[in-house]
Structure formats: structure tokens, C-alpha cells
Amino acid sequence: MPADAGQEAEAPGAGAPGAEESTPGGDAPEAAGASGDDGAAEAEGAPGDDGAAEAEGASGDGGAPAGDEVDSLRGEVEDYRGRWMRAVADYQNLRRRSAEERSELRSQLLAGLVGGYLGVLDDLDRALGSLDMHEELSGHPWVGGVEMVRQKFAALLKESGVSEIAAEGEPFDPRRHEAIGRQPGPEGVVVAVAERGFEVGSQVVRPARVVVGDGSQAAGGEPAEPGAGAGAGTRG
């Protein structure tokens, strides 16, 4: 009897630890398996779907632009190019006009300045021209001095851009000539110069005062050419 009781007493003790160990050990693998399957499914499902959606969205937004957008961009490029070309042309025209205006202003200022000195040149010419009536002064030292002054003054005018207006033998030009009379000679042609004229570029400083042919035959001369320079007239 004591032996059976000992065996029976050991049975509960031996089975209890086995039962306690099997229960935790058996439940843990199932939990781990369940969590592993769910986590794998979620890890595989979420990133896969989001990545595909993002990839599709990125390819849709960052891909080649549509045909209408390309045409619009080309139109903008052509518009900007046209504006640039017009701006360059306007700037070049502005520079050209500015240069012309500066040149014209310089000519006007110089013409106004030189006009006051032409009378001095006329006086020198008249003084030297009177030597024909005073032969006793020929070779006098002061005559050489006056000639030098006249030459220097004429050279200064030439260096400043002042030139003499061609007159005698030229067709009458009312813009550059001032007619003071008519006499026999070719019609509309300058036959004599009473006072020389000068100009700076295209700016007339002083018109040449001239005598114009009336188309009649001069004494002992040849017949005038009919109809030549019919537009001659007197400058106002």
C-alpha cells in the first residue's frame, strides 16, 4: 500500500510540469505563425500597392508633354524671338537717328559760328583784290602778311568742315544759290558770282550770290541752250 500511494502521488507532480510546458510551447508557435503571415501579407501588400501607384503617378506626371503643350511652348519661343528681334531693330534705329541728330546739330552750331567770320574773309579778299589798282604796293611786305593771314583763315575754315559752294558754270540751285540778276547766257546756268557761298556738310552757311543766264545770246557768244535749267529763280 505505501508503494502505490507513492506512485499515485508522483503522477500528478510529473504530469503537471509537462502540461505547463506544453501549453506555452504549443500556443507560441501558432501566435508567431499568425503574426508572421499577417505581417508578411501587410508588408507585401502595402508597399507593393503604394509603390505601383506612385510609379504610375510619377510616370504620368513626368513623362513627355502632350502635343498641345509642345505647340504652346513653340509659340511662346517664337513670340519671344520676335520681340527680341524687334527690340534689336528699334535699338539700331535709335542709334542711327541719334548719330544723325548729333551730326546735324554740330553742323548747325558750326554754321552759326562760322557765319559771323565770313565777312572777315571777304574783307581780306577785297583788300588783296585792290592791289591791281595800286601797283606801287606790289611787293610790299604788308601785302605778304595779309596774304598769309588770308591763307591761314581759309585753312582753318577748311579744317572745320567749311567748304565753298560751287557756283560759276553750275546749274542754278535755289537751295545753295541766291540769284541777284540775269544776263545773257545759258538758260538757268550761273554765269557770274557776286559773292561766294559756303556750307558745312549739307548745312548752308551762306548762299552764293550769283547772276543767272536768261537763255539769250551774248554779244559775240554762242546761242544759249534752250530749256536748260528752266527751274531757275530768285532765292528769297
**How many C-beta atoms lie closer than 10 Å to residue 224's C-beta?**
20
Residue 50: the pLDDT is 52
- The Cα 202–Cα 162 span in angstroms is 10
C-alpha of 168 from chain center: 44
Burial label, 130 (beta-carbon count in 10 A; 0-12, 13-18, 19+): exposed
pLDDT, residue 10, reads 46
Supply the pLDDT for residue 132: 77
Residue among 184, 186, 198, 190 nearest 168 (CA) = 190
Which residue ranges in the chain fall short of pLDDT 50? 1-43, 45-48, 51-53, 55-60, 223-236
| 198-200 and 190-195 beta bridge pairing | unpaired
- List pLDDT tens digits, range 194-222: 999 999 888 888 999 999 998 887 555 55
CA dist 225 → 42, 48, 78, 173 (Å): 117, 108, 63, 18
Give per-residue pLDDT as tens, 45-77: 444 455 444 544 444 455 555 778 888 888 889
Global pTM value: 0.51
